[in-house]
């Protein structure tokens, strides 16, 4: 069951107050086509044959009808054996400025009911989107930290591996009098330059990717949304909706100066840390190891 929202009558008639407890129904056009249902025919609902008096179609490209079959309220309550139960009541204010007053009056008159306006629903959706955005942002942050940590570890391992392959070189330098500090500064300087070059290359590739995304400008289409209007005279709670609008979101990749500077800083810092570890490994080499490697 659900309200008739943003629909147009394509055949037959809509429900009226005279149909309050009659075994009649209005059927969604898509559902009618799929099941070969026409006005004047009957369908079975809850074990009871119900006459189809009208067929409605969505007023937009999206299916906004909330049900395949629409019944008068009393008929729906009888067939569902739910009793005199009404789950949702739609109310229309005379003007937008009176929505708050109408909502307050309804809350006072119906203390056991939940009274929501479109702004409340929008705030709920916005809150959910904000929570999802925060979750995605935090997840992205920790994933970035993890990737940086792994990259730094790999840089250290590669630098140490390079030092091991240059055993003769560093051992010979120590044999001719190079101090441990000078060996460490030599390796750290090399890694620092490599990190700077890697950062520059990464920024160039990143800017190229950003420019490509902004030139292509991919878009995401959002489905039309219907506003809630007041009762349209349907005992089943149906009502005609307001106009619908569809929108498109264009994706773009912004360029932020501090992100670029941070990227260069991380690359340089990574190279420096890797160089210090590699230099420390090189400084521990003894001239005798270098001589054996030469032989």
User: Which range has the worst mean pLDDT, 37-46, 161-170, 171-180?
Assistant: 161-170
For all residues of the chain together, what is the average pLDDT? Answer: 76
Per the listing, tokens 């702004």 go with 119
Residue in 91, 51, 41, 47 with CA at minimum distance from that of residue 71: 51
Predicted confidence band of residue 225 (pLDDT cuts 50, 70, 90): very low
Predicted pLDDT of residue 25: 92
Q: Is the pLDDT of residue 141 over 60?
A: yes
Band (pLDDT 50/70/90 cuts) for residue 238 is: very low
Residue 224 has pLDDT above 60, yes or no: no
Average pLDDT over residues 251-255: 76
Residue 216: the pLDDT is 85
Report pLDDT for 41.
92
pLDDT at 173: 79
Comparison of pLDDT for 35 and 145, the residue scoring more: 35
Two tokens at 264?
């260069």
Q: Which residue has the tokens 């056991």?
A: 112
Q: How many CB atoms lie under 10 A from the CB of residue 199?
A: 20
Asked which of 4-8, 96-100, 172-176, 261-265 is least confident by mean pLDDT, the reply is 4-8
N-to-C CA span, the chain: 90
219-225 vs 245-250, strand pairing mode? antiparallel
Under a CB-based contact definition with an 8 Å cutoff, are residues 122 and 260 in contact?
A: no
Q: What is the pTM of this model?
A: 0.44
Phi/psi-derived region of residue 85, left when phi > 0, alpha when psi is between -120 and 50, beta in every other case: beta
**Which residues are bridge partners to 225 per DSSP?**
245
Strand, coil or helix: what is 283? helix
In a 3-state reduction of DSSP, which class is residue 102? Answer: helix
To the nearest whole percent, how much of the chain has pLDDT over 70?
76
**Is the pLDDT reported for residue 48 higher than 70?**
yes
Average pLDDT (251-257) is 78
Please state the rounded mean pLDDT for residues 50-59: 86
Report pLDDT for 237: 38
- Residue 4 has a pLDDT of 65
Query: Which of the four pLDDT bands, split at 50, 70 and 90, describes residue 157?
Result: confident
pLDDT tens-digit profile of 279-292? 787 777 676 665 56
Is residue 135 helix, strand or coil?
helix
Higher per-residue pLDDT: 143 or 247: 143
Compute the radius of gyration of the chain from its Cα atoms. 36
Taking residue 144's Cβ as centre, other Cβ atoms within 10 Å add up to 11
Task: Lowest mean pLDDT of 5-9, 183-187, 237-241, 261-265, name the range.
Answer: 237-241
In whole angstroms, what is the distance from residue 225 CA to residue 91 CA?
A: 18
């Amino acid at each position: 069951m659900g309200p008739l929202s943003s629909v147009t009558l394509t055949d037959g008639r809509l429900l009226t107050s005279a149909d309050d407890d009659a075994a009649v129904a209005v059927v969604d056009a898509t559902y009618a086509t799929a099941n070969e249902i026409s006005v004047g025919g009957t369908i079975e609902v809850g074990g009871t044959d119900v006459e189809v008096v009208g067929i409605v179609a969505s007023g937009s490209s999206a299916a906004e009808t909330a049900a395949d079959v629409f019944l008068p309220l009393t008929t729906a309550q009888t067939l569902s054996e739910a009793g005199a139960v009404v789950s949702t009541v739609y109310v229309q204010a005379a003007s937008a400025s009176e929505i708050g007053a109408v909502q307050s009056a309804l809350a006072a008159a119906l203390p056991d009911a939940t009274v929501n306006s479109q702004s409340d629903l929008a705030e709920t959706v916005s809150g959910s989107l904000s929570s999802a955005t925060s979750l995605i942002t935090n997840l992205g942050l920790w994933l970035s930290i993890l990737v940086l940590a792994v990259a730094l570890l790999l840089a250290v391992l590669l630098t140490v591996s390079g030092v091991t392959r240059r055993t003769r070189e560093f051992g010979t330098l120590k044999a001719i009098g190079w101090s441990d500090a000078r060996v460490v500064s030599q390796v750290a300087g090399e890694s620092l330059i490599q990190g700077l070059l890697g950062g520059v290359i990464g920024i160039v590739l990143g800017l190229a990717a950003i420019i490509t995304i902004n030139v292509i400008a991919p878009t995401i289409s959002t489905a039309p949304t219907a506003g809630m209007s007041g009762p349209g005279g349907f005992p089943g709670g149906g009502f005609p909706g307001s106009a619908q609008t569809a929108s498109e979101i264009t994706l773009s990749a912004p360029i932020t100066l501090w992100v670029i500077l941070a990227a260069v800083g991380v690359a340089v810092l990574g190279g420096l840390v890797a160089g210090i570890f590699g230099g420390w490994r090189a400084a521990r080499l003894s001239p005798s190891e270098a001589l054996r490697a030469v032989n």
